[in-house]
Each structure stands twice: as C-alpha cells, then as structure tokens.
Amino acid sequence: AQRVTQPEKLLSVFKGAPVELKCNYSYSGSPELFWYVQYSRQRLQLLLRHISRESIKGFTADLNKGETSFHLKKPFAQEEDSAMYYCALHGSSNTGKLIFGQGTTLQVKP
C-alpha cells in the first residue's frame, strides 16, 4: 500500500537551531515526493519537489530510497518558519492523487 508517515505531530525548536522534519514513505515504484507548507491563515503551498533538487527558503530534502525517507532539513530555523508541513507522495502514474502524511507543526521559539 502507498503510504506517507510523518512521525512527529509537533516539533518545537529555538531560533537558530537546526531543523529536521521526518517523512517516510511506502511505495514499490519510483516515487515522486513533495513538501508542502501551510502558514497560519494561508493556503497550502509547494515548498519542495524532490526532482527539482532546489533549496527553498533554506530548506532542502534528499530522497533516500534505501531508507524510504524524504526528510526536510534546515540548518538554522527562523521564527517565520513556524507552520504546518506536509510530506506528499505522487504514486502510481495516471492516478492524479497525492498521498499526504498527517503533517508536522513546526514551532520556532525566539
């Protein structure tokens, strides 16, 4: 079965500390993985797509097929990073659907 797991509901760090938001997936083929972010009172927006290998707002994520993980990292957290983060899997071709994890709330304290 295709599944995305984000084990932490809440991650609380201090400003300037490193951040790692965990994401594990279950998928037998070649996955396409995304991180979406939802800031307070804003819409869900794309943060990263693994095939683009970009760094957005200082965040990076590497696909590890051996560990079936796609963890999101940032070396120095900022208060404005506080938001809900969702990992999503675009699985089998021609289904159209994204499979989302349950989300992790990142709280960056001053």
Partner 1 sequence: EAGVTQSPTHLIKTRGQQATLRCSPISGHTSVYWYQQALGLGLQFLLWYDEGEERNRGNFPPRFSGRQFPNYSSELNVNALELEDSALYLCASSRTGTDTQYFGPGTRLTVL
Closer residue to partner 1, CB minimum distance, 25 or 36 = 36
Confirm or reject binding of residue 96 to partner 1 (CB under 8 A): yes
Confirm or reject binding of residue 30 to partner 1 (CB under 8 A): no
Q: Which residue has the tokens 């051996």?
A: 66
Q: What is the largest CA-CA distance in the chain?
A: 45
Single out the segment in contact with partner 1 by CB under 8 A; choices: 17-25, 31-39, 64-72, 73-81: 31-39
35-64 residues in contact with partner 1 (CB under 8 A) are 36, 43-46, 49
Say if CB 14 and CB 108 are below 8 A apart. Answer: yes
| Phi-psi region at 103: left, alpha or beta (left = phi > 0; alpha = psi -120 to 50) | left
Confirm or reject binding of residue 94 to partner 1 (CB under 8 A): yes
